[in-house]
Amino acid sequence: MQINYDNAMTIEFLSNPNNEAFARIAVASFIANLDPTVEEMSDVKTAVSEAVTNSIIHGYENEKGIVKIKVGIINKTVEIEVIDRGKGIEDIEKAKEPLYTTKPELERSGMGFTIMESFMDEMHVESIIGKGTTVFMKKIIKD
């Protein structure tokens, strides 16, 4: 976590699907003082929800693990990292293709990364097989 942030937080929780809502609300509460529009807040909440859900369903599958979220604010820019130490992503570019899913039996749409990219100003993914995945996202809150 950078020291030069105006404000920052880190939270960790078990990879329990019930914690996805907690993560979304925690990040929304943290950035609320930036006075985002309803649309900006919805964009951030949706992107966080997608990233956390990916960590729980794909990163850890049926195993318990820890999902970590780091949020930093500098000026009116929100930087978010969603980190897991799960199985990792074999082919990030393939995983980012719309409608691609490794869990069709769960009726997953395969749109998680596409949604994150479209709702945030920046998004990229780093992953190492067997070590986990980090999703980096950035959203500029307009004046």
Q: Please indicate whether residue 85 is annotated as part of the active site.
A: no
Q: Which amino acid is at 30?
A: F
Q: Which candidate, 34, 140, 21, 130, places its Cα nearest to that of 80?
A: 140
Catalytic residue (choose from 81, 108, 117, 126): 108
Tokens 């995983």 belong to 95
Catalytic residue (choose from 20, 50, 79, 85): 50
**To which H or E segment does residue 10 belong?**
strand 7-14
| Whether 137 contacts 80, CB under 8 Å | yes
Q: Please indicate whether residue 54 is annotated as part of the active site.
A: yes
Report, as residue numbers or ranges, the catalytic residues.
50, 54, 108
